Structure 1
């Protein structure tokens, strides 16, 4: 078989969609150049997000987190990491990439350690406003540390010369909805988009209908809900909202999420980095409820970024008062100017869509 002369790049992302989505976005832009070839390393959980990738370019490795609730998983952690490391060595030797780009999470550890031993340059990317534990470890081995937020927390001072602010790579299905100037026009019915993300939909199935039930009937008739949920919860939500006389659209997954964000007046969501950047890119008002189980409170810091600009209302899931939440919704329903101001603040947030800067680093230093 003739050896490919293309410049080879390996992207590593696994676990949740929060790690995988920016990797896929970056790859879409890298592959616009026919001289580049992109390979992907992921774990069992992350593989489902790469359904559009040819199998010959996708490799699955063992990985785990030491912070899982299961004692068995904690015990198996070092063995899975070692297994993933050995397989990564084999894969990297076979592909011989010019650079490795890792998007955090414990899936990144085995291939990055293997790459370091093989002297392959490593770029890590931190999506959140606070650096995760895996990336803190990998900062010791990385040639470049790229970040989504200015002043990302928990990065050691002695790594400051490695840090480059690039923003967060976003897919074209989001970016295409950003206007050159801020635009917002309220819908006849108040469109509320509810997105729980890859980890948080089930709690929203419980919380949001209860909040909506506290609203006066006069307001319930004037809103439309668009909500994503876990598989199996669709009928539960449809039955509840029908009984409340609420116009609704329930889906397990919104294929074109950019369209729904663009059509929304208000977004109720978790505070993963992708969600925050998508809200800012299009410019919409939001109520953010950070995932309370995140180990490093990364979603709390992401939500604080938007809340501090006046673009969002912040709720702590552990102490949330449903009646108070409903009153906030009622106030926003009656205050179109407030919703527009929040949306404009989101649009004007100091963020960057990271594809261009990311590619400049790769091309100027490693290809």
Structure 2
């Protein structure tokens, strides 16, 4: 097999959320490490992840969802056309040889541009079901990479062109891999509560009172890091500290690798990138899938799949009451066995070589 060319540029397209952009970043850095030139196409929300894009050439394209009535769809079609033309010009200028799409509607235009130039198209699906963008692009794809063994929505696509690579994670997450923190009846308990890049208001409303209702002997051991953007963040932190809980309440954590490594338990949404981070580091979680919007079914499937595997516990948001969460946390924190067992299952399902395996697939496609 001839060696893949280091002169051609490999393009990556990702939506504006961290769930789409972070896997693209992970692949881009692995390809750069191997000597390839890369470029990431995203939209204005994705461009706000300055740290993720640092040192990676990228182009911000106009993007608009196809949701809405006839007027909205016409406006979206015009936006996609503009983005497609911009991406096409940039691909020709950079001599792009292949495009890897990571989902999200902003990835649609670069994929169309790539196919108009007859370039190979690789789609990566982070979740247990193909995203809308990937479903619409699947008939044009040359290969599909998945994060799970079984992905709904790929029926009819040649199984020989499907490769399970796992979901690439950032370098800081890979660096956080290690043994589960020691847990006994008298050691501190580290609880991490995060709601994804958009945070989750419900966690700020339900988690603090649930912690306040725990038995004093558990509260005295708790060290809580809570991601919360509400104006009452300082008041929440003060309430927790008053009952002996070590508490840090911030709108965003930019050191997620370090926090995951320290955590005994994570309360979180169930996005695919969040799941990949947890599995890579090997940490158990209480999953609260987002209850509305386009991510609803995806997150529910992810949470149920991981809960059934033994990685954690799925609590739909409508069922996330103070009483139920207090009871579940009390049960988990009173045991020295349940959390380490779930952590071991998580670690066994992690795919720390996902970025490398996806880069291997890209290089194979370049030589075909």
TM-score by length of 2: 0.90
Change (3 A) 1:43 1:222: same
Name the structure 1 match of 2:29: 28
State the match for 2:252 in structure 1.
253
Q: Look up the match of 1:325.
A: 325
Provide the rounded CA distance (Å) in 2 between the counterparts of 1:108 and 1:56: 17
C-alpha deviation, 1:236, in angstroms: 4.5
Q: State the secondary structure of the residue aligned to 1:313.
A: strand
Q: Which runs of 4+ in 1 moved over 6 A?
A: none
Other structure's SS at 2:177 match: coil
- Let me know the Cα RMSD of the aligned residues: 2.4
Aligned equivalent of 2:182: 185
CA distance in 1, matches of 2:51, 2:321: 40
Specify the SS of the correspondent of 1:192.
strand
User: Could you tell me whether the CA contact under 8 Å between 1:127 and 1:148 is conserved in 2?
Assistant: yes
Separation of aligned partners in 2, 1:310 and 1:33: 36
SS at match of 1:205: helix
1:122-143 per-residue CA deviation (whole Å, 9 max, x = no partner) reads 1110001111111001111111
Task: Give the Cα separation in 2 of the matches to 1:245 and 1:183.
Answer: 24
State whether residues 309 and 349 of structure 1, in contact with CA within 8 Å, keep that contact through their aligned partners in structure 2. Answer: no
CA contact (8 A) 2:6 2:37 kept: no
- Per the alignment, in what secondary structure is the counterpart of residue 194 of structure 1? strand
- Please give the secondary structure, in 1, of the residue aligned with 2:96: coil
Q: Counterpart in 2 of 1:142? A: 141
Note the C-alpha offset of 1:305. 2.0
Q: What is the CA-CA distance between 1:153 and the residue it aligns to? A: 1.2
Within a 5 Å distance, the mapping from 1:88-167 to structure 2 comes to 88-167=87-166
| Shift in Å, 1:62 | 1.1
Relative to structure 1, is the Cα distance of residues 74 and 194 closer, same or farther in structure 2, using a 3 angstrom cutoff? farther
String of CA shifts for 1:70-109, please: whole Å, max 9, x gaps: 9986663222222212222222222220111110010111
> How far apart in 2 are the matches of 1:211 and 1:113?
49
Equivalent residues in 2 for 1:152-231, closer than 5 Å: 152-179=151-178, 183-186=180-183, 188-230=187-229
After superposition, what is the alpha-carbon deviation per residue over 1:205-260, rounded to whole angstroms, capped at 9, x for unaligned? Answer: 22211322322333222211012233856435324423444211223332331221
Once residues 50 and 71 of structure 1 are traced to their aligned partners in structure 2, the CA distance between those partners, rounded to angstroms, is 35
Q: CA deviation at 1:185?
A: 1.2
Q: Do the aligned partners of residues 128 and 201 (structure 1) sit closer, same or farther apart at CA in structure 2, a change above 3 Å counting?
A: same
Structure-2 change in CA distance of 1:231 and 1:326 (3 Å): closer
Partner of 1:17: 18
CA distances 1:300-343 after superposition (whole Å, capped 9, x unpaired): 11112210112201100023232011111001111011111111
- Offset, 1:54: 6.0
Number of residues paired by the alignment?
A: 360
**Tell me, what secondary structure is at the counterpart of 2:149?**
coil
SS in 2 for 1:225: strand
Question: Is 1:301 matched with 2:298?
Answer: no
CA offset digits 1:16-55 (Å, max 9, x no partner): 1000001111111111123x11111110111111446468
Report matched runs for 1:233-312 at 5 Å: 234-295=233-294, 297-312=297-312
More displaced 10-residue stretch of structure 1: 235-244 or 199-208:
235-244
Structure 1: unaligned runs, 5 residues or longer: none
User: Separation in 1 of the partners of 2:252 and 2:263?
Assistant: 16
- 1:82 aligns to 2:104 (yes or no): no
Answer whether contact 1:196 1:228 (CA < 8 A) is retained: yes
